[in-house]
A and B are shown apart, each in its own frame.
Chain A
Amino acid sequence: MISLRATMRGGRRIERSRPWPRHVINQTGWLRAIREISKGHGDMLGLWSDGADVHMLMLDHESSDIGIVTLECPNGRFPSVGHMHPPASRLERAIRDIYGLGADGSSDLRKWLDHGRWGVRRPGAKPEPSEASGDAYAFLVAEGAPLHQIPVGPVHAGIIEPGHFRFSANGEVVVRLEERLGYVHKGIEQLMVDGPLDRAARLAGRVSGDSTVAYALAFANAVESALEIEIPQRALYLRALMAELERLANHIGDIGAICNDASFSLMHTHCAILRERVLRASQLCFGHRLMMDRIVPGGVASDLTMEGAVALHALLSGAKKIIPRFIELYGDTTSIQDRTVGTGRLRSELAKQYGCGGVIGRSSGRSFDARRHPGYAPYPELSFKVGSAHAGDVDARVWVRFDEIRASFGLIEQILDKMQEGSIRIESLPAPSETCEGAALIEGFRGDIFAWVRLDAAGAVQRCHLRDPSWFQWPLLEAVIEGNIVADFPLCNKSFNCSYSGHDL
């Protein structure tokens, strides 16, 4: 039997694909890769197209190797991955909508991002004008006498992003939830095509506003890999500092928001105060509350001043005192625990099958954290503990967030300690002289963000693909709500906190 690793390294190797090799394999190899993945011998971390070929990013469990395999699609078709490995299903539907490449054997032929509103079909390759009056969408059926449907969205009741949820319920108990997403599809990948790097970097930083640092970092790392450049040491540390501040702000906000959805507003109020303090410190340090456009290919755009460092130390000493009290408040209040313990349980097999990253995966026994593996500078030089739990319920997802908040405290302290003086940016990036490709896996607060970029000889973006961790989390939300009551959906949803904008792109 040929192992997954051998499959990943078979076929024709593409030069100038970094840091992971990309191999063009034949149909037999492609099918073998799907089989190995579906048996659980590896994770599928991404599936995308550039209009001509389909690419799959894989992690082999045995060797921990990462690789990209490519299948050429001269006839506009490829053997479906989702047919044997369901996590690929929505990615395939998106590929069909944008590039017109069909997945043979796929059981779901419905459109996903294309709602029939663009006035064009297949915008990524050979666009064709079409009606913009909207397509009908056939939701999956749930049949039986006592069942009723609850349609929710796309405009939701809170201050959140748009998407549609279709619940089928038996009284209060949800028997099926089906999501329909794509409402905030902005065509970001196509907007990047043939554009300059700085424009693409600004777009990458606006894929999902709450993860702007992580996306800018993923894009910058991919570009730097493609160009084979190393950025100054200080810039690496400043990037990690911003990434940890972003993680802190989001995790703190999420804990408050989860509690708020069970009407535990005291926790929400205090978390909102601490989150605001983190954002204000970020503003003081880097001149923007969310730190947008601060990470650029080649380094970072603004340096940390002495004043900023002092503010960070003050923030940390305050936060380190208050977090144990939040933990006490959450852990000792039985009325909130009554809502979170045992609610929305995600089985570890599902987390593993979907390659589910971030807090959600780590609360269900999947320990993957891109800061650890594949790892990227400066994290190998820093010590930190990745949060983990096995219960897989809303409660576990709260506790893992607390773990990660404490880990970020430690990381920020180490970064401030170890950061050396020096330059923060390479002023002019070298032109590649021929087509080159780069990729990166970055741990955002939601999980691993994958960025892949192909630059042309002049250094402009020829193709770019950005895969949000939510692609492998949204489908699991449908699974965890099953058998729970409708009133617990907000808790399940908030404890997942998947991105709409990052997913719809």
Chain B
Amino acid sequence: MRKFLFQGLLRWPLTELAPAADDAAVAELAAALAKASRRRLGRSLSIREVDAGSCNGCELEIHALGNAFYDLERFGLRFVASPRHADVLLVTGPVTKNMREALERTYAATPDPKWVVAVGDCAFDGGVFAGGYACVGAVSDVIPVDLHIRGCPPDPVALLQGLIALVERRR
């Protein structure tokens, strides 16, 4: 164990430069974020991830945001275990009908001001699962969405661009 710890002191960090905020995301957000809420929350956000029926692909990439290359927490963004502690809900999946109520209740449990980021093509419009008996479709059909990050799944850089836009625009 000592070797690993020493190495951590001697080597350069693996963490990479932050990508620029995604322009489309910035435009979508400008309307969503009121000045007042920016003042109240500063540049730090607590995120609650909600899987509303995804295939787990989006979760894998959201997980990757925490590794040393992307190091999400340096931007003041962190994942929390309860919606009661969250400012942002990060929602994935085509919202299965079996998850609809859980998503609504999670949204209701999140204190204001709050934002919803829909992650992945399924969360945008149901993706490949649209049209079946078991899925609602878009997250925005169930709760209001402030930002979409597209992709199947979006890679960590795309996720970072969207999330950075969220904090940067709130200065």
By the criterion CB–CB under 8 Å, are B56 and A279 in contact?
Answer: no
Q: For A191, list chain B residues within 8 Å (CB).
A: 128-129, 131-132
By the criterion CB–CB under 8 Å, are A118 and B133 in contact?
Answer: yes
Which residue in chain A gives the minimum CB-CB distance to B64? A276
Question: Contacts A209-B60, A209-B153: A276 and B55 contacting too (C-beta < 8 A)?
Answer: no
A378 is an interface residue with CB less than 8 A from chain B:
no
Question: Contacts A117-B97, A276-B67: A186 and B129 contacting too (C-beta < 8 A)?
Answer: yes
Give the complex CA separation of A265 and B109 in angstroms: 30
Q: How large is the interface on A (under 10, 10 to 19, 20 to 34, 35 or more residues)?
A: 35 or more
Which residue in chain B gives the minimum CB-CB distance to A249? B60
Contact residues, B130-160 vs A (CB, 8 A): 131-135, 152-153, 155
CB distance from B99 to the nearest CB of A (A): 5
By the criterion CB–CB under 8 Å, are B134 and A185 in contact?
Answer: yes
Question: Contacts A162-B99, A325-B3: A186 and B57 contacting too (C-beta < 8 A)?
Answer: no
By the criterion CB–CB under 8 Å, are A269 and B55 in contact?
Answer: no
Question: Contacts A209-B55, A269-B68, A290-B57: A188 and B4 contacting too (C-beta < 8 A)?
Answer: no
Contact residues, B46-68 vs A (CB, 8 A): 49-64, 66-68
CB distance from A198 to the nearest CB of B (A): 11
Give the complex CA separation of A353 and B1 in angstroms: 40
Contact residues, B87-130 vs A (CB, 8 A): 93-94, 96-102, 106, 127-129
By the criterion CB–CB under 8 Å, are B51 and A161 in contact?
Answer: yes
Q: For A155, list chain B residues within 8 Å (CB).
A: 50-51, 83, 102, 106
Q: Which of A15-23, A171-179, A200-208, A299-307 is the interface stretch?
A: A200-208
Q: For A162, list chain B residues within 8 Å (CB).
A: 51-53, 99, 102
Mark interface residues in A157-193 (1 if CB within 8 Å of B CB, else 0).
1111110000000000000000000111111101100
Contacts across chains A and B counted by CB atoms under 8 Å = 149
A270 is an interface residue with CB less than 8 A from chain B:
yes
Give the complex CA separation of A275 and B69 in angstroms: 11
By the criterion CB–CB under 8 Å, are B54 and A501 in contact?
Answer: yes
Question: Contacts A123-B134, A184-B96, A185-B96: A273 and B69 contacting too (C-beta < 8 A)?
Answer: yes
Q: How large is the interface on B (under 10, 10 to 19, 20 to 34, 35 or more residues)?
A: 35 or more
By the criterion CB–CB under 8 Å, are A266 and B98 in contact?
Answer: no
CB distance from B24 to the nearest CB of A (A): 21
A495 is an interface residue with CB less than 8 A from chain B:
no
Which residue in chain A gives the minimum CB-CB distance to B49? A159
CB distance from B161 to the nearest CB of A (A): 16
Q: For B63, list chain A residues within 8 Å (CB).
A: 159, 253
By the criterion CB–CB under 8 Å, are B67 and A329 in contact?
Answer: no
Give the complex CA separation of A190 and B133 in angstroms: 9
Q: For B62, list chain A residues within 8 Å (CB).
A: 159
Question: Contacts A160-B59, A186-B53: A289 and B96 contacting too (C-beta < 8 A)?
Answer: no
Which residue in chain A gives the minimum CB-CB distance to B48? A155
Q: For A84, list chain B residues within 8 Å (CB).
A: none
A119 is an interface residue with CB less than 8 A from chain B:
yes
From B67, B79, B93, B127, residue with most partner A Cβ within 10 Å: B67
A332 is an interface residue with CB less than 8 A from chain B:
yes
**Cβ contacts A to B, 29 pairs, < 8 Å:** A117-B101, A132-B97, A134-B101, A155-B106, A157-B82, A159-B59, A159-B63, A159-B79, A160-B51, A160-B59, A183-B99, A183-B102, A185-B134, A186-B53, A187-B129, A206-B55, A208-B56, A210-B56, A210-B60, A253-B63, A266-B5, A269-B67, A275-B67, A276-B69, A325-B4, A499-B56, A500-B56, A501-B54, A504-B96
- 3 shortest interchain CB distances as A-B pairs: A209-B57, A187-B134, A157-B81
Residue numbers of A with Cβ under 8 A of B are 115, 117-120, 123, 127, 132, 134, 154-155, 157-162, 182-188, 190-191, 199, 202-203, 206-210, 212, 253, 266, 269-270, 272-273, 275-276, 279, 283, 289-290, 292, 325, 329, 332-333, 499-501, 504
